[in-house]
Amino acid sequence: MKIHDIAFIGAGASALMAIANIKNKDIALIDSNTKVGAKVLISGGGKCNLTNLFATSKNYLGDENFINIALSKFTPEDMMSFAKAHHIELEERLHGQMFCAKSAKDLVSVFEKKLSTCKLYMQTKVLHVEKNEHFIIHTDNGKIFAKKLVVSSGGLSYATIGASGIGYEIAEHFGHKVTTPNPALVGFTLQKEQFWMKELSGIAMPVHVRVEGKSFSENLLFAHKGISGPCVLSASLYWKKGKINIDFLPEKSLSVLLKASSNKQISTALPLPKRFMKAFLDSISLEDKVVSKLKNDEKIKLEQLKNYEFSPAGNFGFTKAEVTKGGVCTDEIDPQTFESLLCQNLYFIGEVLDVTGELGGFNFQWAFASGFCLAKTIL
């Protein structure tokens, strides 16, 4: 009976970074996909947003102290150095986002080379895990044995590439608490009162969104199901079924704009897409009249452009979510080693933990950082 030194369940970013930094160990890598790094390959339009230069614990939903320890040991600069050392050309975009300049395949191929000494169990579904003297991993292709087990299986988003809840099931089996997984970095569906937004599908515009004390300034995209776009996706991370506020005229004064265009129709006086303005005015039962003819109560109605408040009906669900928030509670994980405090030689890294980043490379930075920290401490 072959007993591996370490077995990884999940061949995503956190596992790949960990294995790349572990030496002289007999490692098994188990994944339901045909190839490693499936999510890395499809992220960022195939270019993988592998880090963010400005990543701090403030960009994450989770325990700040726990997150800080990993991010301080493997920083965005360290990820950049890793890419440079392996001749991966990078491209910087807005807000410190770093992408592979050519293709995410460049990054995955680096990791693939480092897997040459691993035993790969691809197209293998983990059914359940038990522990006697060592771990027994029951799969649809038989049993796999290991002295140490690393759960790096990710969350529930991207079911098309094998996402499942097996990581949570393993955690609960060994007594861990799991914060209920929910879709994150995902668009919002709308209440009946906001159905007017559905008429605007395809329009994108810069806005300022506020939710639960957080604020985001970037594009909002009107979609068939509701609203999406970068600022909405990040806002969804913090939303708790309450209200959100949208400023459709960020960095602009409505009164100044109206005063400067008093002889124009409302829909043309404001620097917003005309189709949006027509639908918005209909939604607040305001005629598209000449600005100079606006009454005070009508001007007050228009102020909603600066503070449009509503409660989303829900979100687009796991099929459209970039990541999963929730997961294995970090107060039961050693922040230095990522080892379970409840079960010796059991580890959790990456998205399976209750740590979730905003849109823009933060989640890959967390995955790589947690994988690196584990690699440097696992014996």
Locate the domains of the chain by residue range. Answer: 3-183+323-377, 188-315
For the beta carbon of residue 64, count every other beta carbon within 10 angstroms.
12
Long-range contacts of 62-65 (CB under 8 A, 24+ apart): 62/330, 62/353, 62/354, 62/355, 62/356, 63/330, 63/331, 63/354, 63/355, 65/335
Residue 345: the pLDDT is 98
* Residue 93 burial class via C-beta count within 10 angstroms: exposed 0-12, middle 13-18, buried 19 and up: middle
| The amino acid at 107 | L
* Residue 140 burial class via C-beta count within 10 angstroms: exposed 0-12, middle 13-18, buried 19 and up: exposed
Task: Name the stretches of the chain with pLDDT < 50.
Answer: none
* 102 φ, ψ (degrees, to nearest 5): -105, -60
Residue 300: the pLDDT is 95
- pTM of model > 0.85: yes
List CB contacts of 238: < 8 A, sequence separation 6 or more: 61, 211, 212, 213, 214
Residue 343: the pLDDT is 98
Per CATH, the number for 3-183+323-377 is: 3.50.50.60
Residue 272, classed as helix, strand or coil, is coil
Residue 80, classed as helix, strand or coil, is helix
Q: Which residue is it, tokens 């009946």?
A: 192
* Cα within 13 Å of Cα(374), Cβ side: 31
The CA distance from 292 to 262, in Å, is 5
Helix 104-114, helix 13-20: angle, nearest 10: 50
DSSP 102: S
Q: Which residue from 17, 90, 1 is spatially nearest to 351, judged by alpha carbons? A: 17
Residue 120: the pLDDT is 97
Beta strands in 132-185 (DSSP E): 135-139, 142-151, 178-184
Residue 129: the pLDDT is 98
| The amino acid at 289 | K
The CA distance from 40 to 38, in Å, is 5
* Tokens describing residue 78: 């360290």
CATH for 188-315, among 2.40.30.10, 2.70.70.10, 1.10.3720.10, 3.30.70.20?
2.40.30.10
* Tokens describing residue 150: 């690393």
List CB contacts of 235: < 8 A, sequence separation 6 or more: 209, 211, 214, 216, 244
